[in-house]
């Protein structure tokens, strides 16, 4: 069988990155089962894919996602400058450039008959509608959580919808409540605190943990206190004692024998012993 380069994959990585970040998941995950780019190659096959185009303001995402590592996965990277704001106030310029380039391919490369759109929400509906109305097959990969409005009716604008939770083998995250996501974030926050070389030999006390939960998870003090209590009562945290210069300091460390703690750490990309 000869090569059938009829598939073009368009990834709004900035959108997907922030969607997955809520679950402490990196689209360029070290485990191939959770890696967006490797899973797409596996799903469609190299014989069918003509192009894989990736769009994002990589400066906004910082060191979490490497342009070089994505390029090594045979994807064409487009660095699109946004408005320089943080996650809360950013304007996604990447999706605009993606739409323009996809429309250009629609008119200039007729051999492409399948357009694969990878996004975290329904922002791509106008593009999908235009491609589908021109007789192209349209397939969508998206995070089917609260980011997608129940009134969007995405199936009316494409031939196939894939749920990224299932596709990336993280379906157990899909039904997490708001507080469950905070619990997951708190576990990872405490785990990463101890991995910081600046904290070697230190203990992470309850008052500092709760202050950081307020600051990093945008919780109220009452919510942070309730979350900390849940972590302790659920055996997600274990008390530790650290002796420094003859003094004993008390803190809490994540319980790495807890199955859910191990799962959170692994999905975040860390090796679990």
Q: For 10-67, what is each residue's pLDDT tens digit? A: 999 988 998 888 888 899 999 999 999 999 999 999 999 999 999 999 888 877 789 9
Q: For 92-130, what is each residue's pLDDT tens digit? A: 678 889 999 999 999 999 999 999 999 876 778 899 999
Classify residue 259 as exposed, middle or buried by CB count within 10 Å of its CB (0-12, 13-18, 19+): exposed
Q: What is the mean pLDDT of the chain?
A: 88
Cβ(192)–Cβ(168) below 8 Å: no
Q: For 199-243, what is each residue's pLDDT tens digit? A: 988 899 999 999 999 998 889 999 999 999 999 999 999 999 888
DSSP E strands: which ranges in 3-154? 7-12, 49-56, 76-79, 114-118, 137-142
Q: What residue ranges define each of the domains in the chain, with the CATH number in brackets?
A: 7-173 (3.40.50.1010), 178-267 (1.10.10.10)
What is the DSSP-derived secondary structure letter of residue 243? Answer: E
The pLDDT assigned to 191 comes to 94
Residue 254: beta bridge partners? 237
What's this model's pTM, rounded to 2 decimal places?
A: 0.77
Could you tell me the pLDDT band of residue 149, with boundaries at 50, 70 and 90? low
Task: Look at the block and give the residue holding tokens 């012993």.
Answer: 273
């Amino acid at each position: 069988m000869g090569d059938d380069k009829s598939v073009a994959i368009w990834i709004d990585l900035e959108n997907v990155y922030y969607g997955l970040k809520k679950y402490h998941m990196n689209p360029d995950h070290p485990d191939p089962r959770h890696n967006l780019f490797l899973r797409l190659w596996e799903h469609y096959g190299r014989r069918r894919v003509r192009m894989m185009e990736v769009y994002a303001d990589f400066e906004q995402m910082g060191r979490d996602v490497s342009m070089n590592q994505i390029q090594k996965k045979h994807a064409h990277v487009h660095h699109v400058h946004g408005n320089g704001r943080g996650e809360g106030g950013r304007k996604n310029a990447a999706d605009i450039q993606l739409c323009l380039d996809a429309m250009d391919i629609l008119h200039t490369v007729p051999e492409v008959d399948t357009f694969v759109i990878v996004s975290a929400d329904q922002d791509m509906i106008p593009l999908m509608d235009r491609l589908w109305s021109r007789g192209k097959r349209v397939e969508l990969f998206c995070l089917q959580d609260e980011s997608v409005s129940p009134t969007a009716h995405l199936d009316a604008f494409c031939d196939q919808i894939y749920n990224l939770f299932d596709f990336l083998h993280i379906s157990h995250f899909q039904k997490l409540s708001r507080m469950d996501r905070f619990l997951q974030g708190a576990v990872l926050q405490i785990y990463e605190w101890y991995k910081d070389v600046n904290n070697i030999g230190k203990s992470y006390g309850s008052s500092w943990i709760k202050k950081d939960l307020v600051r990093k998870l945008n919780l109220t003090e009452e919510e942070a206190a309730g979350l900390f209590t849940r972590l302790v009562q659920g055996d997600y945290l274990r008390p530790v004692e650290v002796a420094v210069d003859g003094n004993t300091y008390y803190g809490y460390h994540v319980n790495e024998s807890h199955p859910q703690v191990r799962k959170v750490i692994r999905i975040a990309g860390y090796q679990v012993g």
